Amino acid sequence: MGPLGALLLDVLVLLLVLTVAVPPLRRAIYTRLILRLVSRTLPKMGDTERIALEAGTVWWDGELFSGSPNWTRLLRFKPLELTPREQAFIDGPVAELCAMLDEWRIEHQKDLPPEVWRFIKSKGFFGMIIPESYGGLGFSAAAHSAVVVKLSSRSLTAAVTVMVPNSLGPAELLLQYGTDEQKRHYLPRLASAEEIPCFALTGPEAGSDAAATASQGVVCRGVWQGREVLGIRLNWRKRYITLAPVATLIGLAFRLRDPDGLLARNLDAPPPAADGDLGITCALVPANLPGIRIGQRHDPLGIPFQNGPTEGHDVFVPLDAIIGGPAYAGHGWRMLMESLAAGRSVSLPALSVAGAEFAARATSAYALVRKQFDLPIGRFEGIEEPLARIAGMAYLMNGARRLTCGAVDAGERPAVVSAIVKAYLTEGMRGALIDAMDVRAGAGICRGPRNMLARGYISAPIAITVEGANILTRSLIIYGQGAIRCHPYVLKEMRAVAAKDLAAFDLAFFGHLGFILRNVARLAIPGLAGGRLSGAGPLSPAVRRGLRALGRASAAFALASDVARATLGGQLKRREKLSGRLADALAWLYLGSAAAKRFVDDGQRREDLPFLRWSLDQSLWRVEEALSGLLANFPNRPAAWLLGRLVFPFGRRRRPPSDRLGSTLARAILEDPAVRDRLTADIYLPAAADPGMGRLEAAFAACQAALPAEAKVRDAVRARRLPREPEGDLAERAVAAGVITADEQRLLAEAERMREDAIQVDAFDDLARFDAADVPHAGNGASKLSA
């Protein structure tokens, strides 16, 4: 190329830079054309989808979508601690309630005992989220969650009974949207349990697609308390409704129609659609009205919390039954999505943490108490492996629970984060219980008062299914909502296209291009990725390394997300296997962040360092696995190849937690009581008379006390100072040989006696004649039925 050619090239480059750098030129030359192209290709968004996407708030999930998370912001965030009043409630009424509960007896009597129902109502368990000014407890999300964790570790039936009035339902909706009159009337009654609420959302035709409900309400005139008023005639069929069989107040979601335009004429409301449809609406319906059928029960996997169908036929209620009054007619879908964004953050994640911590406590005890080949089974690598998974997941999951509750207490309604903790913590619980059952083996499959794991294992699919089935949550909600809502530019672009706002689209589109280039640079230039850590304070090297690695993974995820959207467009939401993998990556970024946050908040204890390392290794491996699966199945192969060179320039580097690290975790919960107590501090531990966990814990303590004496005897046998023979005889020889003292012999004998008792399983005289009246109270240790 000659001098003239070089000059022309320089001029062309300069013109290109000027036309891009100067906004008026850029809009006239490029943006207008791009806007027309995008407008033609962007799929139309319906109101239902738009409302769901816009529900809740964006929090730490937005940082993870940024490609450069502000770690200082996360580490400086201070979740609320429990107040003295909240802690006193957990130590008092919650512990007292746990002591009253016998899940084996409850299971076979098919309900909580009357005295338990009375206690729950009298102590305000149904009013945890209701402010004190209305007679409730006014607890924080952290306290609400802590109550559910402790209760869930003792009785799933009691926990679910308490969870539902404090989750998505009448109280939550009234607090957010109710009129002053509705709040004054209903909230004190709900707090005192004078009213027992349920919320009827799911129907035979509308499960995950709740907006497709066939439940209908028609605006009409009718008689209410002797007067003709404007109201709604309701018809519905709902199922899977917890507390429905005993409810006195039904929160009902239905599609409201006003075919005659009565609302518009009488209340100066906007006119309905041409077919009279006003949209999803939520109302409070007394359960004793004529036309309501209630009282039947479902049997959710044998866990006897009150759950069943409800039907209404030509049920008339006045317009002020609408939550928020007539002004909120047709706004029910938004109300539900907003409330779910907060409510889903608390109850099921708390129940899941209870399951994981309980599995860690019970399995570590059993692994030390149970012996095979003259060794506690926890000494075998085959047992160490599931023990480590249980312990690691319990640590990681509780970090996510605490962080998410902190967000809710800070005023966030984290829609995407709440979906993550609901789906991935319930899956974590299921995995922990499967591992625990494998370790427990034969003792885990024989039901009875001694078996404390089987009910959790059997009932795990309930948590997996409710509040948005995990398959749907993973494949559609987490990434589908996150890709639009949490991304720094996509929602701005969509709104600008819808409004045909050229200037706003120009800023969003070219901002998006710059965002993509920054993430390319972060991945291509060593040391550039990792997020922002300045001002975070003194951090352990493991924390710094982990956060840097998570920061790079965030940049890889953000770029992969943009490439997927750019190449697949509107097809991406139908490619659920791909969007599910992107959801996995986002979820494990959040879980890894939460584990690091927990470690720092807990004071960066050296003893907890293996749990942090396990959590980070697990999270980073799962993010890499998700992105690798995305690339392997990406339909645009050139784009996949190019993206792979940036995301994995040296190939896949991450591995799951090592065997050595797993052994460290397993030994910690077997041998270090302080570590084990911290890991499982949130659950209820019954007295030694309890035939399940109480008896096992007592045996564990006895076996731990005998460990030094056992080591002395074992070393003497290896040194051939003592012969190999049964332990009882061997202990006597050890005393005679001066290997152990007489006191140590007594410790060995007591440990052996309690070990023998703890590994027994229940047996019954006649299962065919099994009857609730024959069920022994678990507290007395009996397991043999009367003839």
Q: What is the mean pLDDT of residues 142-160?
A: 97
Return d(Cα 530, Cα 519) in angstroms, integer. 11
Most confident of 205-214, 474-483, 538-547: 538-547
Helices within 324-380 (DSSP H only): 332-343, 347-369
Q: What are phi and psi of 448, to 5 degrees?
A: 155, 180
Nearest 10 degrees: CA dihedral of 47, 48, 52, 53? -40
Structure token pair of residue 166: 């404090």
What is the reported pLDDT for 208?
Answer: 65
The residues facing 217 across adjacent strands are: 234, 256
Does 775 or 519 have the greater pLDDT score? 519
What is the reported pLDDT for 274?
Answer: 66
656-709 pLDDT, tens digit each: 999 999 999 999 999 999 999 999 999 999 999 999 999 999 999 999 999 999
Return d(Cα 594, Cα 591) in angstroms, integer. 5
pLDDT-derived band at 561, boundaries 50, 70, 90 = very high
What is the reported pLDDT for 538?
Answer: 87
Most confident of 185-189, 333-337, 512-516, 571-575: 185-189
Q: Which of 533, 461, 521 is nearest to 74 (CA)?
A: 533
Residues in the chain, total: 787
Q: Which of 189, 177, 326, 186 is nearest to 256 (CA)?
A: 326
Q: What is the mean pLDDT of residues 373-390?
A: 94
What is the reported pLDDT for 779?
Answer: 42
Return d(Cα 246, Cα 630) in angstroms, integer. 47
Helices within 602-692 (DSSP H only): 609-632, 637-647, 659-671, 673-679
Residue recorded with tokens 């005295």 = 115
**Strand 249-257 and strand 216-224: pairing?**
parallel
Return d(Cα 138, Cα 145) in angstroms, integer. 13
Return d(Cα 406, Cα 403) in angstroms, integer. 5
Percentage, residues of the chain above pLDDT 90: 72
What is the reported pLDDT for 97?
Answer: 98
266-287 pLDDT, tens digit each: 776 666 676 788 999 999 999 9
453-478 pLDDT, tens digit each: 999 999 999 999 998 899 999 988 89
Structure token pair of residue 521: 């640079």
What is the reported pLDDT for 9?
Answer: 55
- Measure Cα distances from 229 to 181, 219, 285 in Å: 18, 11, 16
The residues facing 224 across adjacent strands are: 227
Collect all residues with Cβ–Cβ distance below 8 Å to 377 and sequence separation of at least 6: 366, 367, 370, 371, 383, 439
User: Positive or negative CA dihedral for 141, 307, 206, 463?
Assistant: positive
Helices within 451-527 (DSSP H only): 454-465, 470-472, 479-485, 490-499, 502-524
Q: What is the mean pLDDT of residues 506-513?
A: 90
Structure token pair of residue 711: 């080591």
Q: Is 315 helix (H, G, I), strand (E, B) or coil?
A: strand
Let me know: does 580 contact 626? Beta carbons within 8 Å.
no
What is the reported pLDDT for 6?
Answer: 57
Structure token pair of residue 113: 């005992």
Residue recorded with tokens 């404390």 = 452
Return d(Cα 705, Cα 750) in angstroms, integer. 10
Nearest 10 degrees: CA dihedral of 721, 724, 727, 732? -40
User: What one-character-per-residue DSSP string does 36-69 give?
Assistant: HHHHHHSPP--HHHHHHHHSSB--HHHHHHHTS-
Q: Is 311 a catalytic residue?
A: no
Q: What is the mean pLDDT of residues 596-613?
A: 97
Q: Which of 624, 623, 683, 684 is nearest to 651 (CA)?
A: 624
Element (H, E) at 218: strand 216-224
The residues facing 238 across adjacent strands are: 310
Other CB atoms within 10 A of residue 652 CB = 13
Please determine, for residue 641, whether its predicted confidence score (pLDDT) is greater than 90. yes
- Measure Cα distances from 600 to 51, 76, 538 in Å: 37, 10, 10
pLDDT-derived band at 243, boundaries 50, 70, 90 = very high
Mean pLDDT lowest for which of 7-21, 92-106, 684-698?
Answer: 7-21
What is the reported pLDDT for 36?
Answer: 86
Q: Which of 108, 77, 32 is nearest to 772 (CA)?
A: 108
Q: Which of 439, 430, 436, 435 is nearest to 459 (CA)?
A: 430
Please determine, for residue 313, whether its predicted confidence score (pLDDT) is greater than 90. yes
Return d(Cα 252, Cα 213) in angstroms, integer. 11
- Measure Cα distances from 80 to 146, 409, 701 in Å: 12, 7, 34
Let me know: does 306 contact 280? Beta carbons within 8 Å.
no
Does 336 or 125 have the greater pLDDT score? 125
pTM: 0.93
- Measure Cα distances from 93 to 90, 98, 351 in Å: 6, 8, 18
Return d(Cα 725, Cα 723) in angstroms, integer. 6
Active-site position among 63, 311, 467, 624? 467
Return d(Cα 72, Cα 600) in angstroms, integer. 12
User: What one-character-per-residue DSSP string does 151-171 give?
Assistant: HHTT-HHHHHHHHGGGSTTHH
User: What one-character-per-residue DSSP string does 554-600 give?
Assistant: HHHHHHHHHHHHHHHGGGGGG-HHHHHHHHHHHHHHHHHHHHHHHHH
The residues facing 68 across adjacent strands are: none
Return d(Cα 212, Cα 251) in angstroms, integer. 17
Mean pLDDT lowest for which of 47-61, 313-327, 594-608, 705-719?
Answer: 47-61
Return d(Cα 116, Cα 106) in angstroms, integer. 10
CA angle (233, 210, 314) in 5-degree steps: 15
Return d(Cα 679, Cα 391) in angstroms, integer. 8
